[in-house]
Amino acid sequence: MQLATDGQLKHFLTIEGLSPLLLEEILDRAEQFLSNKSQNKSPVLRGKTVMNLFFENSTRTRTTFELAAQRLSADIVTLDIRNSSTSKGESLLDTIRNLGAMNCDMFVVRHQHSGAAHFIARHCPAHISVLNAGDGHHAHPTQAMLDMLTIRQHKEDFQPLKVGIIGDILHSRVARSQIHALTTLCTGEVRVIAPRTLIPAGIEKMGVNVFHNMEEGLDDLDVVIMLRLQKERMQGGLLPSEREYFSLYGLTEARMKLAKQDAIVMHPGPVNRGVEIDSRVADGKQSVILQQVNNGIAIRMAVMAMTMSGQAGELARQ
């Protein structure tokens, strides 16, 4: 449902089901935006209005979407919906219908419930594109694409790569989207590395290899992707203490030696120093964490530009 009838992007809800060609197109488009160093804004979204709908707070993600939209010359309205009519008991459907009636062209949606972005795309007016900025434990597709861009900038080709994702796979929308992106791009091997309590049952069906031992999992990796450990998990009894977690699964300089010498270290931020990753690794030469942040704006510009053009084509055909 995120594709127009001619196969172009109309919404961007999940990586699942998208073709390798389309993913490459997003990466190429983002590279174009990165290589344009002039001060001139792109006029791609001039006269368009982007509505940021943040049902869940995220200053960082909201900011990068705002910056991306501004660079494309869009108008922006940001709604912190936790304080709005929905708190007066209005249903999500009513909220979306109302916002959809307000002359706008794109919804950027962050929501604590899995499936919210799909639900909104299904129920909003046809001329509005929906971009998923994170929904529950389900997907965070722009994060996954900025990660793919970062990998491609360091490693020519995905096919020979061994990529490990380490941490709370069970609750991570980032991990889920990364796995879809990596397998779609034909990555040689994708591993998930975590304690048993943090791995969802049946994840092997997504095409990944499961490791419970950090040393075995890190062996010979080209790309090491750390996830942020939500400290709330420990209170839920899924995890022992921070100290024990770090001793078993923390990324240290010593452990990094098990990966390839030219392996890169990634993290979606914000980093819990000393919990999932040692500061010397987070700030070390192999870390590309800040490059990920920078790529985030270019990826969001690419997806915004492509979905708007997909919508325009779809509307022209009708």
Q: With binding defined as CB under 8 A, does residue 101 bind a copy of itself?
A: yes
Q: With binding defined as CB under 8 A, does residue 75 bind a copy of itself?
A: yes
Residue 16 CB burial class (10 angstroms; 0-12, 13-18, ≥19):
middle
Judged by CB under 8 A, how many residues of this single chain contact a copy of itself? 50
For β-strands 264-266 and 223-226, DSSP reports them as parallel
Binding residue for a copy of itself, selected from 10, 11, 48, 152, defined by CB under 8 A: 48
Q: With binding defined as CB under 8 A, does residue 85 bind a copy of itself?
A: yes
Nearest distance in Å: CB 297, a copy of itself: 6
Residue 135 DSSP class:
E
Would you call the peptide bond into 268 cis, given omega within 30 degrees of 0 as the criterion? Answer: no
User: How many angstroms separate the CA atoms of 23 and 139, rounded?
Assistant: 16
Q: With binding defined as CB under 8 A, does residue 79 bind a copy of itself?
A: yes
Binding residue for a copy of itself, selected from 9, 27, 104, 259, defined by CB under 8 A: 104
Sequence-ordered alpha helix ranges (H) in the chain = 20-35, 59-71, 92-100, 116-123, 141-154, 173-184, 214-218, 232-235, 242-249, 253-256, 279-282, 289-317
Binding residue for a copy of itself, selected from 8, 36, 84, 209, defined by CB under 8 A: 84
Q: Is residue 2 a contact partner of residue 267, using CB atoms and an 8 Å limit?
A: no
Binding residue for a copy of itself, selected from 296, 303, 304, 306, defined by CB under 8 A: 296
Binding mask 205-244 for a copy of itself (x = CB under 8 A): --------------------------x-------------
Q: With binding defined as CB under 8 A, does residue 291 bind a copy of itself?
A: yes
Q: Is residue 4 a contact partner of residue 313, using CB atoms and an 8 Å limit?
A: yes
Q: With binding defined as CB under 8 A, does residue 49 bind a copy of itself?
A: yes
Token pair for residue 18? 């998208």
Return the amino acid letter for 250. Answer: G
Q: Please, which residue, 46 or 196, has the CB nearer to a copy of itself?
A: 46
Q: With binding defined as CB under 8 A, does residue 276 bind a copy of itself?
A: no
Binding residue for a copy of itself, selected from 3, 44, 67, 234, defined by CB under 8 A: 67
- Name residues whose C-beta falls within 8 Å of residue 55's C-beta, 6 or more positions apart in sequence: 81, 82, 86, 109, 110, 111, 112, 116
User: How many angstroms separate the CA atoms of 269 and 284, rounded?
Assistant: 15
Binding residue for a copy of itself, selected from 4, 13, 23, 81, defined by CB under 8 A: 81
Interface positions with a copy of itself (CB under 8 A): 39-41, 46-49, 57, 59-60, 63-64, 66-67, 70-71, 75, 77, 79-81, 83-85, 88-91, 94-95, 97-104, 231, 269-273, 290-291, 293-294, 296-297
